[in-house]
Amino acid sequence: MKQIDEQFFVNDNQNKKSSVDDILVKDEKLLWQQTPKKSNFVMQRTIKFLPVAFIWLLIDVGIIVTFVTTMKDLSFLWFIVPFFALHLAPVWAYIASIVKAYAKVKNLKYVITNKRIMVIDGKDMFVSNSINLNDIKSCNVNQALSGRLARVADITILSNGDNSIVFNDIKDAKFICKKINEIAVSPTDVNGFEKITCNYCGSMYDSSLNKCPSCGATRKE
């Protein structure tokens, strides 16, 4: 029978984990870690709501100003104030989306150790996704226009088991991706095609292609 002592029902998870070192297993060493570039991360997740929120706010403010300046009798305020508090919902939603994105990125960490690649998401070092180094299939770089301006890019790491990890808005993305592709064990894909690394962006792709599917750079022989 398993030995049951006074420590048996003590929950280890209650010991607050506060740094990456707290989650490393035996013989595991931290090689690289980065957090997404916050401004770019938040902007990318909120910018699509910005035009609606902005126009909505502009119109409502215009109406409120017209109301207040033309009305002699302000007894209508009891109706106007709650009405616009509700009517401005898209603006509140936009502000909430910014707060939410900040809260998310605050505790997001991308980590590479000598054993695995991980996404740490949450205050108590919760590993939300990981891929073992010997299970890496390929890595690709994607850079949106906003990323180009902020000098950051996303990298997508695929595992042989079709798991994938995305590192959002990181610096040195090309270099990191290139190094990850060097770790990838198999130099050929499932169809037996040789894989080559793009000289420009560090993505790995099929040698039967003439152009890099990630950045469009023509292949150099």
Distances, alpha carbon 149 to alpha carbons 38, 108, 112, 145, 191, in Å: 14, 22, 26, 6, 37
CB of 199 to Zn ion, least distance (A): 8
For the CA atoms of 46, 52, 53, 58, the dihedral, rounded to the nearest 10 degrees, stands at 150
Distances, alpha carbon 43 to alpha carbons 37, 62, 72, 142, in Å: 10, 27, 42, 17
- Pick the closer one to Zn ion by CB: 93 or 217: 217
49 is a site residue for Zn ion (CB under 5 A): no
217 is a site residue for Zn ion (CB under 5 A): yes
Q: Which residues contact 185 (CB under 8 A, 6 or more apart)?
A: 134, 136
Q: Is the dihedral of CA 54, 56, 57, 62 positive or negative?
A: positive
CB of 144 to Zn ion, least distance (A): 15
- Pick the closer one to Zn ion by CB: 116 or 137: 137
Q: Which stretch binds Zn ion (CB under 5 A): 2-10, 44-52, 181-189, 212-220?
A: 212-220
Q: Which stretch binds Zn ion (CB under 5 A): 61-69, 87-95, 178-186, 208-216?
A: 208-216
Binding residues for Zn ion, total number by CB under 5 A: 8
Give the x/- contact pattern for Zn ion in 168-207, rule: CB under 5 A. ------------------------------x-xx-x----
Residue 59 DSSP code: H
- Pick the closer one to Zn ion by CB: 21 or 194: 194
Residues 23, 122: Cα–Cα separation, whole Å: 13
CB of 212 to Zn ion, least distance (A): 3
Nearest to 34 by CA among 195, 159, 186, 154: 154
214 is a site residue for Zn ion (CB under 5 A): yes
- Contact residues for Zn ion (CB under 5 A)? 198, 200-201, 203, 212, 214-215, 217
